[in-house]
Each structure stands twice: as C-alpha cells, then as structure tokens.
Amino acid sequence: MPITNDDIARGLRQHPAQISPKYFYDQRGSELFEDITRLPEYYPTRTENAIMQRHAADIAQAVGPGRTVIELGAGNCSKAEALCRMVRPACFVGVDISADFLAEAVERLRRTCAPLDARAVAGDLTQGVVLPSDIPRTGRLVFYPGSSIGNFDPPHALALLAHMRELAGADGALLIGIDLPKDVGVLEAAYDDAAGVTAAFNLNVLAHVNRLIGSDFDLGQWRHRAFFNAAEARIEMHLEAAEPCEVHWPGGSRRFAAGERIHTENSYKYALPTFTDMLARAGFARTQAWTDERGWFAVLHARP
Ligand SMILES: C[S@@+](CC[C@H](N)C(=O)[O-])C[C@H]1O[C@@H](n2cnc3c(N)ncnc32)[C@H](O)[C@@H]1O
C-alpha cells in the first residue's frame, strides 16, 4: 500500500490551508504522541485504559479467545499488549502509517506476549487497509482505540466504519474507543497542555512536511492553537502564523498573513447514542458499551 503525499501541496493552497493529521506521525511525531498520553491534562489514554481494565472480564467474554486482532493506528502497541493479555488472540496485526515506530512496537509485543504471531503492516488506513494474504479471514476483531475515529468528519468516519465492517467479515467484530462530550475546559486543556508537548507535536508536522515535499516552513514563525468548536462538536488544532511569511516548495508557494492559520486536526466528540446509530448505519447492528464513572470516554464492542 504506497503512501503518497500529493494532497499536502493541495491542502496548503486551500483557504484556509490544511494539512491532514496523518502527517503528524513521523518517528518524532509518534514519540511526541507517546509523551502526550502521559500528560496530566490528556485524559483519553488514561481513561480508556481504566475502562479496559475495569471491564476486562466482560470485554474478554464479548471478544472471545483465539481471534485475529487487527489494530488500526497501533502506535506503540501498549493498548494492544493489554488487550492481548486479556483476550489471548491467535494473531495480531498492527497497521500504522509510522512504519519504523510500528515495527519496533510489534517486535516488543512479540516478546512480551510470546508466543504470539504478531505482524506489522505499514500503510495509510484512509487508502483502504490491505492485509497480507495469509491473515485468517474468519474470527477477526478490528481494534480502533484512542478515539482516533474522531479525527474524521462524520461522513468520512461513517465510510471508515463501513470499511472496518468489511475488514472484520461476517463473523467479526469491532472494539472501538470514542471520546464523549464534556466540559470545554477539560477538553481544551487536553489539547493545549501547560508543558507545551501538544504544541511541539502540532509544530512537528511542519518539519515532517518540509521533508516530504521539500518545503521551507520556518517553525519559529508558527504558533499552536487548540479550541473547542461547539457548533461542530469538535476540538480543532491549527498552526497560526505569528508574522507574515511565505512558504515555498518545488512547484508552488503560499503567502500567509499574520494570524492566518493552517488547520491540522479535528477531534469530534460523540454522544453515545449518536455513535451507536452511526455504527448501525455502517453495518454493526449489535453494540455493547462500557464507560468510566465520569462518562468521559466509551469503549464499544460492535458486531454485524
Ligand atoms: C492518536 S494515535 C493513537 C495510537 C494508539 N492506537 C492509541 O490509542 O494510543 C494515532 C495513531 O494512528 C496512526 N495513524 C494516523 N493516521 C493514520 C493513517 N491515515 N493510516 C494509518 N495510521 C495512521 C498514527 O501513526 C498513530 O500511531
């Protein structure tokens, strides 16, 4: 599955400019995301892990043993490790755009969860997930934690869920984490931490883009911005030009006025009934959900 980046220059020419959040994840971006998950303000990872631990027996019963677990956006595989201990799969396939970071994580998983047939598949899940032909077609569990589904606008999220339904197969299932609506202060702090790690993560996308398309973004000219857009029920992350600047790349250029932004990420927050309805429309009619005491996050097991 080749990873192309033709969309970057296109996005930079748009008004407002945009860069897909998938370009956050070069090696440094993956490491910075790992740092984010440990921040006091970043509740999603901690909350999702606590739900998985607290309801481990129920989740294990719903999933069943001996599955082929396919994790999309597997990252450092730390959630995969917890899940594998819980459900004892026959096979694990981690899919991620950050190829080297994933390969190391899967190698670690192979050791910590031995004997486990664990595979790393580098690829862009927005281009359709293509698995090696020897991956079993039955007994699949698609695992998509971290509320990453929130990075897609609702129509694209629905299309991706429908793709997961295909990937899971007739006897398969989906285990997915979603971030629920909550106090705006809590949400905004999670995406704009006091230590500036999320700011560094957001800015790093420009360094990655410079390498991918040969552009000349000067990171010092850009500031991190994150806020809740209530009308769209989403956190938005942007990079804002601190001063007028011009960016060049082979075949193009763009002037930015001071205060002009590049939109780098959305993170939609779904109420549980809205998301359950979306799952049903994607072909997952039967769902079981677990949440934390504060109702901040939910883990859902969904079957056709
Ligand atoms: C928010 S992190 C979540 C990591 C981990 N699953 C978790 O829950 O902590 C998103 C992960 O998805 C990967 N990713 C982002 N966009 C992707 C894409 N289009 N295709 C494949 N992987 C992608 C990133 O490299 C990263 O590891």
CB atoms inside a 10 Å sphere around CB 5: 15
Nearest ligand 1 atom to the CA of 148 is 1
Are residues 131 and 16 both part of a single domain? Answer: no
Q: Is residue 38 part of a domain?
A: no
CA 148 to ligand 1 center in whole angstroms: 7
CA 129 to ligand 1 center in whole angstroms: 13
Q: Is residue 30 part of a domain?
A: no
CA 244 to ligand 1 center in whole angstroms: 33
Query: ω before 154 within 30° of 0 (cis)?
Result: no
List the residue whose alpha carbon is closest to atom 13 of ligand 1. Answer: 73
Q: Is residue 35 part of a domain?
A: no
Are residues 230 and 284 both part of a single domain? Answer: no
Are residues 171 and 277 both part of a single domain? Answer: yes
Nearest ligand 1 atom to the CA of 96 is 22
The DSSP symbol for 187 reads: H
Total structural domains within the chain = 2
List the residue whose alpha carbon is closest to atom 27 of ligand 1. Answer: 75
Are residues 63 and 170 both part of a single domain? Answer: yes
Q: Is 126 in the pocket of ligand 1 (CB under 6 A)?
A: yes
List the residue whose alpha carbon is closest to atom 10 of ligand 1. Answer: 73
Residue with tokens 């719903």: 62
pLDDT by position in tens, the chain (length 304): 344 578 999 999 999 999 999 999 999 999 999 999 999 999 999 999 999 999 999 999 999 999 999 999 999 999 999 999 999 999 999 999 999 999 999 999 999 999 999 999 999 999 999 999 999 999 999 999 999 999 999 999 999 999 999 999 999 999 999 999 999 999 999 999 999 999 999 999 999 999 999 999 999 999 999 999 999 999 999 999 999 999 999 999 999 999 999 999 999 999 999 999 999 999 999 999 999 999 999 999 999 9
CA 257 to ligand 1 center in whole angstroms: 32
Are residues 48 and 107 both part of a single domain? Answer: yes
Are residues 237 and 291 both part of a single domain? Answer: no
Are residues 120 and 145 both part of a single domain? Answer: yes
Are residues 165 and 298 both part of a single domain? Answer: yes
Report the distance separating Cα 268 and Cα 235, nearest Å: 6
Are residues 211 and 73 both part of a single domain? Answer: no
E-strand stretches of 83-221: 91-96, 117-122, 140-144, 173-179
Condensed to tens digits (0 to 9), the pLDDT of residues 141-177 reads 999 999 999 999 999 999 999 999 999 999 999 999 9
Are residues 58 and 160 both part of a single domain? Answer: yes
pTM: 0.97
Q: Is residue 235 part of a domain?
A: yes
Q: Is residue 231 part of a domain?
A: yes
Are residues 149 and 285 both part of a single domain? Answer: yes
CA 279 to ligand 1 center in whole angstroms: 20
Residue whose CB lies within 8 A of the most ligand 1 atoms, among 7, 125, 147, 151, for a mutation test: 125
Q: Is residue 100 part of a domain?
A: yes
Report the distance separating Cα 118 and Cα 240, nearest Å: 41
Q: Is 298 in the pocket of ligand 1 (CB under 6 A)?
A: no
CA 75 to ligand 1 center in whole angstroms: 6
Q: Is 79 in the pocket of ligand 1 (CB under 6 A)?
A: yes
Q: Report the DSSP beta bridge partners of residue 255.
A: 246
Print burial letters for 129-145: b (CB count within 10 Å at least 16), e (below 16).
Answer: bebeeeeeeebbbbbbb
CA 72 to ligand 1 center in whole angstroms: 7
Nearest ligand 1 atom to the CA of 125 is 20
Report the distance separating Cα 223 and Cα 238, nearest Å: 8
Q: Is residue 31 part of a domain?
A: no
Residue whose CB lies within 8 A of the most ligand 1 atoms, among 148, 151, 175, for a mutation test: 148
Q: Can you say how many angstroms the Cα of residue 77 is from the centroid of all Cα atoms in its chain?
A: 13
Which residue range(s) make up the domain with 263?
6-21+196-268
Are residues 126 and 237 both part of a single domain? Answer: no
Q: Please report, for the domain that includes residue 84, its CATH number.
A: 3.40.50.150
Q: Is residue 237 part of a domain?
A: yes
